[in-house]
Amino acid sequence: MVGSRRARRPAALLAAVALVALGAACGTVDPPVNPPNYVALGDSYTAGPLILPQSLDPLGCLRSGRNYPHLVAPATGMELRDVSCSGATTDDMTEPQGVTPGPNAPQFDALDASTAIVTLGIGGNDIGFSGIIEDCVAVLPFGSPCTDLYTGGGHDVLAARIAATAPKVAAVLDGIRDRAPNARVFVVGYPAILPEDGHGCWPVLPLAWDDIDYLRGVEKALNAMLAATAAAHGAEYVDTYTPSIGHDACRAPGTRWVEPIVPLTDAAPVHPNAAGEQGMADVVEARMQQAGVL
């Protein structure tokens, strides 16, 4: 019996060595690497509501196949993961968004270690974009009812909302970095809705003449916050406002990038039309080239 156990030991030892060697060899095999991808996060100014064709995934996001992410994606040579959704706020980056039918999954679900480029267009709904438009529609163009509403008592409600949104955007940028550490991140600002000077174009855009300066300032302040937050969190800011001056909602069809309250082409009210999404795409692509990612 003693001799029998000795005879078996070399075979057992060889088997153990073989298993160790196999395990070591397997440990040197790198896991499969996914190709780089481009993830588009954002709200309706990214999604392109009512610009045909519209995605069915989900339909409630009103996401266009001709929005700026789809127009920029070919230049990147990467798979596009466009999860932008109309009505999105910063909360919808990490939580499901209730759209009909839906929901839209948390937008951050599209991010991973293989994400190489991220564009982010967010913040307008955090300050209440739709509600501002509804509150500021004026039956007559006289006075400044919107300014009076939002700055009564010496407190600027919309300035406070913009300030309160800054840390939310900062948290979104930090969350992107955690989930996509290799990505270059581009924060895309909002294009000009109102003319750069003058009193607007009531009733095409039914805002009182004396409210235009205030509302123009609100959009500029929102964009300035986005630019500062991007810089503080290692992201690139894309200024779509300056190139869109002269293409505001008061311009003629064919010139404007943003439709007025009654759109005359495929677009949602007071949102970019196809020309606007193309204009934004051109600016985003140029900024990416400047940053050396294209």
pLDDT tens readout for residues 233-246? 999 999 999 999 99
Domain 35-291 has CATH 3.40.50.1110: yes
Given the residues 55, 84, 144, 271, select the one marked as catalytic.
Answer: 271
Domain boundaries, the chain: 1-30, 35-291
Helices (H) and strands (E) in the chain, counts: 9, 5
- Give percent of the chain with pLDDT exceeding 90: 88
Q: How confident is the model at residue 102 (pLDDT cuts 50, 70, 90)?
A: confident
User: What CA–CA distance (Å, rounded) separates 118 from 136?
Assistant: 33
Does the pTM of the predicted model rise above 0.85? yes
233 in active site:
no
Q: Does pLDDT of 116 surpass 70?
A: yes
Q: Alpha helix locations (H) across 93-211?
A: 129-136, 145-151, 157-179
Whether the per-residue pLDDT at 159 is higher than 90: the answer is: yes
- What does the pLDDT read at residue 34? 86
Per the residue annotation, which of 44, 84, 144, 244 is the catalytic one? Answer: 44
Question: Does residue 8 have a pLDDT over 60?
Answer: no
Mean pLDDT value across residues 274-294 = 98
